[in-house]
């Protein structure tokens, strides 16, 4: 039985190996996972599937563009966007939630209504 039924996470990662590893780990945790490699793909998928969260990385080349486009998008501007980065953990940076661990992500997602 899945630990986190109904929650969809959109992983936006341009490195295929990292994205595949995140996908596998999140699937094991019971999340439904969508994948995009850049801002354009992320916006399109978010519009279509309305994930509970976008999970990305600080080194994504199109991160600034994605954040700007989300902020200006009426239907997506309140979408939770986070990274897991134990080296740069802070609360929020320019609308981007920086988390310490996948457990912290689970706790945060517990408060997001199901799709």
* Domains, the chain: 8-110 (3.40.50.2300)
pLDDT of residue 109: 84
H or E element in which residue 10 lies: strand 8-12
Q: Helices H, strands E: what count in the chain?
A: 4, 6
* Residue segments in the chain with a per-residue pLDDT below the cut of 70: 1-5, 86-94, 114-115
pLDDT of residue 1: 38
3-state DSSP: the chain helix, strand, coil percent, rounded to 5? 35, 20, 40
């Amino acid at each position: 039985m899945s630990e986190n039924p109904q929650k969809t996470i959109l992983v936006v990662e341009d490195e295929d190996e990292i994205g595949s590893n995140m996908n596998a780990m999140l699937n094991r945790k019971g999340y439904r996972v969508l994948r995009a490699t850049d801002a354009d793909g992320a916006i399109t998928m978010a519009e279509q599937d309305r994930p509970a969260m976008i999970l990305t990385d600080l080194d994504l080349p199109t991160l600034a563009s994605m954040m700007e486009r989300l902020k200006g998008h009426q239907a997506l501007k309140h979408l939770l966007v986070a990274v897991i980065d134990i080296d740069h953990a802070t609360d929020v940076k320019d609308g981007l939630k920086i988390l310490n661990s996948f457990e912290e992500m689970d706790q945060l997602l517990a408060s997001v209504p199901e799709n």
